């Protein structure tokens, strides 16, 4: 009897197209639309679960010594990307008032003999970031992990240096680099 024909190979899975204006991602990364801000996309690594707003770079391997740590305080306003926080379900503070509050907060911290402790105290009392429960201390991060304007400013700081007020889509930040 003649041999049965070999089964046809399974078709290759369709390659997922990136959202408009976003680059194609290397495996195992894919773009995912934000539930809190529809129309904004973040990258997710399907193997590790890592999430980031910026596309991962294939050209430069990540190194743990590229990571830095900071203490920060975020002041959101009505025009922020997501004007809500763990403190306030709907933030109605005017952008100009949030900026003035951030400027005053920065001056108080800069005048302190222990800026890290002062900023951690301010963040615990006022920050709209969930890190406020930890004195505004963020986990170590590297380039590409956070919003570009925030991380660019943080990486420019020397260890122990306090940033000027930083404006991002999330609101106004005051940052102190720890490492």
40 is a domain residue = yes
More confident residue, 40 or 122: 122
Kindly state whether residues 118 and 48 are assigned to the same domain. no
Kindly state whether residues 75 and 155 are assigned to the same domain. yes
8 is a domain residue = no
Kindly state whether residues 68 and 134 are assigned to the same domain. yes
Give the model's pLDDT for residue 2. 59
Tokens of 125: 């009392």
Q: Average pLDDT in the 109-116 region?
A: 95
Q: At what angle do helices 95-110 and 115-126 cross, to 10 degrees?
A: 150
Q: Average pLDDT in the 136-149 region?
A: 92
Q: Where are the alpha helices (DSSP H) in the chain?
A: 95-110, 115-126, 148-156
Kindly state whether residues 68 and 54 are assigned to the same domain. no
Can you give the CATH number for the domain in which 20 is found? 2.20.70
9 is a domain residue = no
Q: What is the pLDDT of residues 2-26, one digit of tens each?
A: 566 666 555 544 556 778 778 888 8
Tokens of 62: 């990540």
Kindly state whether residues 54 and 71 are assigned to the same domain. no
User: What gap in Å lies between CA 36 and CA 96, rounded to an integer?
Assistant: 24
What's the Cα-to-Cα distance from 50 to each of 29, 45, 86, 145, rounded to whole Å? Answer: 9, 5, 23, 9
Say whether the peptide bond before residue 28 is cis (omega within 30 degrees of 0): yes
28 is a domain residue = yes
With cut-offs at 50, 70 and 90, classify the pLDDT of residue 1. Answer: low
> Are the beta carbons of 34 and 103 closer than 8 angstroms?
no
Q: Average pLDDT in the 74-92 region?
A: 92
Kindly state whether residues 106 and 134 are assigned to the same domain. yes
Give the model's pLDDT for residue 76. 96
More confident residue, 3 or 27: 27
Kindly state whether residues 126 and 109 are assigned to the same domain. yes
For 99, the domain range is: 64-177
Kindly state whether residues 56 and 69 are assigned to the same domain. no
Domain final residue, candidates 6, 39, 60: 60
Q: What values do phi and psi take at 174, rounded to 5?
A: -120, 125
Kindly state whether residues 95 and 156 are assigned to the same domain. yes
Kindly state whether residues 50 and 138 are assigned to the same domain. no
The number of distinct structural domains making up the chain is 2
Is residue 17 helix, strand or coil? coil
37 is a domain residue = yes
Q: What is the pLDDT of residues 48-81, one digit of tens each?
A: 778 888 887 654 444 445 899 999 999 999 999 9
Kindly state whether residues 157 and 173 are assigned to the same domain. yes
Cβ atoms within 10 Å, residue 20: 6
> Are the beta carbons of 89 and 81 closer than 8 angstroms?
no
With cut-offs at 50, 70 and 90, classify the pLDDT of residue 91. Answer: very high
pLDDT > 70 in the chain, percent:
86
What's the Cα-to-Cα distance from 95 to each of 51, 76, 151, 162, rounded to whole Å? Answer: 28, 8, 21, 22
- Mean residue pLDDT of the chain comes to 86
119 is a domain residue = yes
């Amino acid at each position: 009897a003649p041999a049965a024909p070999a089964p046809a190979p399974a078709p290759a899975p369709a390659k997922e197209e990136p959202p408009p204006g976003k680059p194609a991602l290397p495996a195992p990364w894919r773009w995912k639309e934000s539930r809190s801000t529809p129309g904004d996309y973040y990258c997710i690594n399907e193997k590790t679960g890592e999430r980031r707003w910026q596309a991962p770079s294939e050209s430069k391997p990540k190194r743990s010594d590229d990571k830095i740590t900071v203490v920060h305080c975020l002041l959101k306003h009505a025009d922020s990307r997501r004007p809500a926080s763990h403190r306030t379900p709907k933030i109605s503070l005017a952008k100009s008032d949030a900026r003035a509050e951030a400027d005053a907060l920065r001056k108080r911290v800069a005048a302190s003999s222990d800026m890290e402790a002062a900023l951690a105290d301010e963040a615990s009392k006022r920050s709209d970031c969930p890190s406020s429960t930890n004195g505004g201390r963020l986990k170590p991060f590297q380039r590409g992990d956070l919003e570009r304007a925030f991380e660019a400013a943080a990486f420019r700081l020397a260890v122990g240096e306090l940033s000027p007020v930083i404006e991002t889509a999330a609101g106004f930040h005051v940052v102190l680099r720890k490492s």
